[in-house]
Amino acid sequence: MSFTQFNFSSQITENIRNCGYEQPTPIQEKAIPKVLSGSDLLGLAQTGTGKTAAFALPIIQRLSKGPRGKIRALVVAPTRELAEQINQTFLDLAEGTGLRTVTVYGGVGKGNQLQQFKRGVEIVVACPGRLLDHLNNRDVNLNKADILVLDEADQMFDMGFFPDIRRILKYLPKHRQTLLFSATMPADIRKLADETLTHPEEVRINLEQPLNLISQVLHPVTKPQKTALLLHLLNETTDGSTLVFTRTKYGAKNLAKKLMKTGYKATDLQGNMSQNQRQRALTGFRDGDFTILVATDIAARGIDVSLVGQVINFDLPSTAEAYTHRIGRTGRAKRSGRAISFVCHDDQPMIKAIERLQGKSIERLTITGFAMDKEVDQQHEPPKNTPRRNTKKKTHSSSHSPQQPHSKGKKKSTKPKTKHRPGNIFGLERGSK
């Protein structure tokens, strides 16, 4: 399968080549012809699948032909980072077409956004709150925006954006093409899809493959020993960068500080930071200026940083779905990745929920010097209706003591050796392909 089948313009074809895309990903293969034909689309897929180009390419092709100076496509996304990332994809793939884009989100001044509206743009990538603000002030006119993309709809729901989205819809033409993407399809998303889409084509992307490239392991540990265990693991890490997730903003900031003091090139990414600080952290992490990013769930979705070698859940997330999104930050673009989670006594119900969602158990690996006690394994039972897998505790010996995380010595790899059975991660794959 090749991109030539879509008959993109020569400029777009060149841009695809310049991006290094050799062939369409499965979602691009399925979605591009449908979007080009003007159909509404319901896409069940998460980031990491090539979803952004799956909607950006046909939108650019369609807009290349029409009038300029009016907003003709609106993409709504939950976070500023994702909006910037989507915008970058549009910039790369629309190079030389003359199409202009702008990102619109809060936390920064309005001046630049207003200026760009005045100059004229065809594509707007926005977070709901600030866009609504501009609409209420009549800064912007969407009555020619006949392509709407709602990206990461489930995260927008989780973040309480649906009332804003329903308000935004009133500013758009009734006859339009709407594309809605979501990684999961709970009832509320289905309801929004029913309200916004007309006879949609449905595209489901099997999530097995990305997650199968990720080896997962749980390290039982007591709370006070988490930092020492993290330092121990980082000391043994030789490849790629590390994304560490904490539960709280304060936790992320504090842990990043500790890592910096220990000599690591680390930074934090959390909601208490200004947009400029957030962007600096993310860009620095992407460019390799920081090898460790300590983040809250703000970075769990959408963010695409290739070469994230491992995700470490310093604290577990509050939902099993969030775990899937977090670990999806590694193993991207067909690379393998590692997901390590620290597990304390209180985390047992969440581990059970994660294993239930994945339909398989995750290997436990106790690292010498960091053993919690026997309870974690004794409490563990494989999820219902799942064949019992090897959940035996493996004791991992190490030459490092927790008190001396950086002592040099013969290192043993902490790479988990779990073999993964294909998992029906979100229960969405039935009927796909």
Q: What is the Cα–Cα distance from 124 to 73, expressed in whole angstroms?
A: 6
Q: CB 332 → ligand AMP: shortest distance, Å? A: 6
Stretch that binds ligand AMP, among 45-53, 116-124, 134-142, 336-344 (CB under 6 A): 45-53
Q: CB 24 → ligand AMP: shortest distance, Å? A: 5
Three-state secondary structure call for residue 241: strand
Q: What is the Cα–Cα distance from 267 to 284, expressed in whole angstroms?
A: 9
C-beta atoms surrounding 230 within 10 Å: 25
Binding-residue pattern over the window 323 to 342 for ligand AMP, x denoting contact by CB under 6 A: ----------x---------
Stretch that binds ligand AMP, among 19-27, 118-126, 380-388, 415-423 (CB under 6 A): 19-27
Stretch that binds ligand AMP, among 24-32, 145-153, 230-238, 280-288 (CB under 6 A): 24-32
**Comparison of 306 and 395: residue with beta carbon closer to ligand AMP:** 306
**Comparison of 52 and 313: residue with beta carbon closer to ligand AMP:** 52
**Comparison of 226 and 329: residue with beta carbon closer to ligand AMP:** 329
Stretch that binds ligand AMP, among 46-54, 156-164, 228-236, 371-379 (CB under 6 A): 46-54
Q: CB 383 → ligand AMP: shortest distance, Å? A: 28
Q: Residue 49 interacts with ligand AMP (CB under 6 A)?
A: yes
Q: What is the Cα–Cα distance from 400 to 413, expressed in whole angstroms?
A: 12
**Comparison of 147 and 183: residue with beta carbon closer to ligand AMP:** 183
Q: What is the Cα–Cα distance from 86 to 104, expressed in whole angstroms?
A: 12
315 backbone dihedrals φ, ψ, rounded to 5°: -120, 145
Binding-residue pattern over the window 339 to 378 for ligand AMP, x denoting contact by CB under 6 A: ----------------------------------------
Among 6, 24, 179, 331, binds ligand AMP (CB under 6 A): 24
Q: Residue 241 interacts with ligand AMP (CB under 6 A)?
A: no
Q: Residue 72 interacts with ligand AMP (CB under 6 A)?
A: no
Q: What is the Cα–Cα distance from 207 to 191, expressed in whole angstroms?
A: 23
50: left (phi over 0), alpha (psi -120 to 50) or beta: left
Q: Do the beta carbons of residue 77 and residue 152 sit within 8 Å?
A: yes
| Cβ contacts of 213 within 8 Å, gap of 6 or more | 331, 334, 335, 336, 337
**Comparison of 25 and 182: residue with beta carbon closer to ligand AMP:** 25
Q: Do the beta carbons of residue 291 and residue 235 sit within 8 Å?
A: no
Q: CB 117 → ligand AMP: shortest distance, Å? A: 26
HSE at residue 378, side-chain half, CA atoms within 13 A, is 5
**Comparison of 21 and 171: residue with beta carbon closer to ligand AMP:** 21
Among 15, 47, 79, 237, binds ligand AMP (CB under 6 A): 47
- Give the 3-state secondary structure of 37-49: CCCCEEEECCCCC
For residue 256, which of 287, 223, 278 has the smallest C-alpha distance?
Answer: 278
Q: CB 186 → ligand AMP: shortest distance, Å? A: 21
Calculate the dihedral angle through the C-alpha atoms of 275, 280, 286, 289, rounding to the nearest 10 degrees. Answer: -160
Q: Do the beta carbons of residue 11 and residue 98 sit within 8 Å?
A: no
Report how far apart, in Å, the C-alpha atoms of 380 and of each of 18, 306, 428 are: 49, 34, 27
Q: Residue 52 interacts with ligand AMP (CB under 6 A)?
A: yes
Q: Residue 50 interacts with ligand AMP (CB under 6 A)?
A: yes
For residue 60, which of 91, 26, 103 has the smallest C-alpha distance?
Answer: 91
Q: Residue 25 interacts with ligand AMP (CB under 6 A)?
A: yes
Stretch that binds ligand AMP, among 42-50, 197-205, 410-418, 420-428 (CB under 6 A): 42-50
Q: What is the Cα–Cα distance from 5 to 342, expressed in whole angstroms?
A: 47
Q: CB 155 → ligand AMP: shortest distance, Å? A: 13
| Cβ contacts of 22 within 8 Å, gap of 6 or more | none
Q: Looking only at residues 73 through 112 of this chain, which bind ligand AMP when binding is defined by CB under 6 A?
A: none
Q: How many residues bind ligand AMP (CB under 6 A)?
A: 14
**Comparison of 75 and 102: residue with beta carbon closer to ligand AMP:** 75
Among 32, 35, 53, 228, binds ligand AMP (CB under 6 A): 53
Q: Looking only at residues 277 through 306 of this chain, which bind ligand AMP when binding is defined by CB under 6 A?
A: 304, 306
Q: What is the Cα–Cα distance from 372 to 223, expressed in whole angstroms?
A: 9
Stretch that binds ligand AMP, among 51-59, 219-227, 238-246, 390-398 (CB under 6 A): 51-59
Q: What is the Cα–Cα distance from 55 to 35, expressed in whole angstroms?
A: 7
Binding residues (CB under 6 A) for ligand AMP: these are 21, 24-25, 28, 47-53, 304, 306, 333
